[in-house]
């Protein structure tokens, strides 16, 4: 049986404590984040857990104004594609910026990775460690 070197539960428990973990491939040197079972570049299973700097550059964004089910109280919000200094791309929400005032100037800006909980309607009422990982979203706070 193949096991996850860095299970999502452990990944999110660390993120909650301000530590962004990732995996480094010992075959090709690529970084992987969020964690996967094997290397995104060469499919190797020879991975080690590393701490990433948690710094990204904003590559693209869009403003969500039409909510999907459960997100009615969240709109408008900003979804962005960002690239970690170590290479991998992350999708998350830009926070601390008014969605009605954001401009393309944000592209190329540096930001710090954090996380946010799912909307309360979708939230499992228990300890954060038990929240389904898919329910958490990355956040990007502009530097
Ligand atoms: Zn690799």
Residue 123 predicted with pLDDT over 80: no
Mean pLDDT of 33-46: 95
Lowest-confidence pick of 9-18, 55-64, 99-108, 124-133: 124-133
Position 1 in a domain: no
Position 77 in a domain: yes
Position 26 in a domain: yes
Q: Do 74 and 35 fall within a single domain?
A: no
What domain range is 84 assigned to?
A: 55-142
Position 2 in a domain: no
Mean pLDDT of 17-32: 96
Cβ burial of 25 (10 Å; 0-12, 13-18, 19+) is buried
Kindly give the distance from the C-alpha atom of residue 3 to the centroid of ligand 1, in angstroms, as a whole number: 17
Q: Do 71 and 121 fall within a single domain?
A: yes
Asked whether 88 and 59 are in contact (CB, 8 A), the reply is: no
Give the per-residue pLDDT at 63.
98
Question: Average pLDDT of the chain?
Answer: 90
Position 46 in a domain: yes
More confident residue, 121 or 94: 94
CA–CA dist 54, 32 (Å, integer): 13
Q: Do 61 and 105 fall within a single domain?
A: yes
Q: Do 90 and 131 fall within a single domain?
A: yes
Q: Do 43 and 60 fall within a single domain?
A: no
pLDDT in tens, 52-110: 999 999 999 999 999 888 888 899 999 999 999 999 999 999 999 999 999 999 999 99
Q: Do 25 and 74 fall within a single domain?
A: no
Kindly give the distance from the C-alpha atom of residue 75 to the centroid of ligand 1, in angstroms, as a whole number: 38
16 pLDDT band (50/70/90 cuts)?
confident
Asked whether 30 and 87 are in contact (CB, 8 A), the reply is: yes
Position 44 in a domain: yes
Kindly give the distance from the C-alpha atom of residue 29 to the centroid of ligand 1, in angstroms, as a whole number: 6
Say how many domains are in the chain.
Answer: 2
Q: Do 45 and 62 fall within a single domain?
A: no
Q: Do 67 and 135 fall within a single domain?
A: yes
Kindly give the distance from the C-alpha atom of residue 6 to the centroid of ligand 1, in angstroms, as a whole number: 16
Residue 24 predicted with pLDDT over 70: yes
Kindly give the distance from the C-alpha atom of residue 82 to the centroid of ligand 1, in angstroms, as a whole number: 21
Kindly give the distance from the C-alpha atom of residue 61 to the centroid of ligand 1, in angstroms, as a whole number: 28
């Amino acid at each position: 049986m193949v096991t996850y070197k860095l299970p999502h539960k452990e990944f999110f428990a660390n993120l909650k404590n301000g530590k962004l973990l990732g995996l480094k491939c010992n075959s090709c040197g690529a970084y992987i984040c969020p964690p996967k079972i094997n290397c995104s570049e060469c499919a190797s299973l020879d991975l080690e857990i590393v701490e990433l700097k948690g710094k990204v550059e904003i590559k693209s964004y869009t403003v969500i104004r039409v909510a999907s089910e459960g997100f009615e109280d969240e709109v408008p919000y900003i979804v962005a594609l960002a690239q970690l200094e170590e290479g991998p791309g992350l999708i998350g929400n830009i926070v601390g910026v008014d969605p009605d005032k954001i401009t393309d100037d944000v592209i190329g800006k540096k930001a710090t990775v954090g996380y946010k909980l799912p909307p309360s309607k979708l939230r499992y009422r228990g300890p954060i460690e038990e929240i389904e990982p898919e329910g958490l979203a990355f956040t990007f706070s502009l530097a």
